[in-house]
Amino acid sequence: MTAHATRVLVLNSGSSSVKYQLLEMQDNSRLAVGLVERIGERDSRLVHTPLTAGAGGKRERTGKIADHTEALRAVADELARDGLGLDSPELAAIGHRVVHGGLKFSEPTVIDDGVLAEIERLVPVAPLHNPANLTGIRTARELRPDLPQVAVFDTAFHTTMPEYAARYAIDTETADAHRIRRYGFHGTSHAYVSRKTAALLGKDPSEVNVIVLHLGNGASAAAVAGGRCVDTSMGLTPLEGLVMGTRSGDIDPAVTFHLTRVAGMSVDEIDELLNKKSGLAGLCGDNDMREILRRVDEGDERARLAFDIYIHRLKKYIGAYSAVLGRVDAVVFTAGVGENAAAVREAAVAGLGPMGLAVDADRNAVRSDEPRIISPDGARTVVAVVPTDEELEIAQQTFALVGEVRTVDA
């Protein structure tokens, strides 16, 4: 009997968590989704949700899961209980989200020892992310050494940025010696959402200029011209750009010297301050936009100021990228905040009528999982909401690379 290998397992390995989805590529459906969190702690937790008919509901397991190897084994066990184990012949490949691909990786790449070494070489520019991604890949390769494993890079979509957008205006020799430049992140999402937006407009991606606002806990904007990224707000690391849940986004770099000299803070303390204790959380104590909107409604001044600072930054990027693109066909909101917070969308384009930007209040209030236009009919620039799906994008890119060559005997 011949089984067609048409499934892809997508793994997103963080420093203390692994998120996963098993997808069937014949119809892009999910067979199972899950999460292992607090890896290495006593109260680790695995939540597994099978989505196949008759598999039953969500299963949860708590208790120490020592490391990523144990975590992936536990995931494999859960999948096996539903007949979806890593040894099933239908599994075509494992697709890994890798945060930093540097300049080298502009495409999804089948992982071999050379690719692993290159991802390792990038650890100094992505110290928080690439080590965890590497651990996930190594563990998956131990479990299924024969299976194609593909790395899909968060930076890849941004490698088309022109040199004048990617370079910081600092001494070239120093920059090159330490690979300092703007790489950008959330590329998988920006690629997926900009393509979907073109489809929503009934056009080919090559025909449209789009500003994508990916507003999750991390947030970034991208200017996409004819399907290619020409600028994005995150830089060497995911700290630059928009105000985020706990990250400051843009600040004067001299703030760091000042904190060292005047407050006696160490580099690590400043790193922690700007990445974990800043943004919305630093400004008002909450990083969840739902909570902030609730507080704003109650008249809370700190939450109001945090919201205003968030929106002001967002507006500046919409303006900047309008100038970068010249003609903007669509401004599109995505990710947790962008897809759900109508108040953020409304505020972000308020007053931008002269630039051709406006939202229709009724359309903006609609809640839906579908891509949708929220600007009034006939607007010069379409404003839209397009839900992102990074896992599907990773699965599709992985499958496009390895899927068709894998028909196996079962």
Contacts with ligand ADP, residue ranges (CB under 6 A)? 216-218, 245, 288-290, 335-337, 340-341
Supply the minimum distance, in Å, between the C-beta of residue 379 and ligand ADP: 24
- Quick count: other Cβ atoms within 10 Å of Cβ 176? 11
CB of 258 or CB of 290, closer to ligand ADP: 290
CB of 148 or CB of 338, closer to ligand ADP: 338
Tokens at residue 77, please? 């066990």
- Quick count: other Cβ atoms within 10 Å of Cβ 6? 18
CB of 130 or CB of 340, closer to ligand ADP: 340
Q: Which entry of 82, 154, 286, 300 is annotated as an active-site residue?
A: 154
SS3 assignment for 220-285: EEEEEECCEEEEECCCCCCCCCCCCCCCCCCCCCHHHHHHHHHHCCCHHHHHHHHHHCCHHHHHHC
Supply the minimum distance, in Å, between the C-beta of residue 121 and ligand ADP: 26
CB of 312 or CB of 380, closer to ligand ADP: 312
Supply the minimum distance, in Å, between the C-beta of residue 31 and ligand ADP: 21
Supply the minimum distance, in Å, between the C-beta of residue 335 and ligand ADP: 4
CB of 68 or CB of 97, closer to ligand ADP: 97
CB of 95 or CB of 218, closer to ligand ADP: 218
By the 10 Å C-beta count (0-12 exposed, 13-18 middle, 19+ buried), 26 is classed as exposed
Sign of CA dihedral 333, 336, 342, 344: negative
Type of residue at 177: A
Supply the minimum distance, in Å, between the C-beta of residue 288 and ligand ADP: 4
362 and 372 Cβ atoms separated by less than 8 Å: no
Q: Which of 271, 293, 297 is nearest to 344 (CA)?
A: 293
Catalytic residue status for 377: no
361 and 375 Cβ atoms separated by less than 8 Å: no
DSSP state of 389: -
Supply the minimum distance, in Å, between the C-beta of residue 79 and ligand ADP: 23
Q: Rounded to an integer, what distance in angstroms lies between the CA atom of residue 229 and that of residue 258?
A: 34
Q: Rounded to an integer, what distance in angstroms lies between the CA atom of residue 90 and that of residue 52?
A: 15
Query: Where in the sequence numbering do the catalytic residues fall?
Result: 154
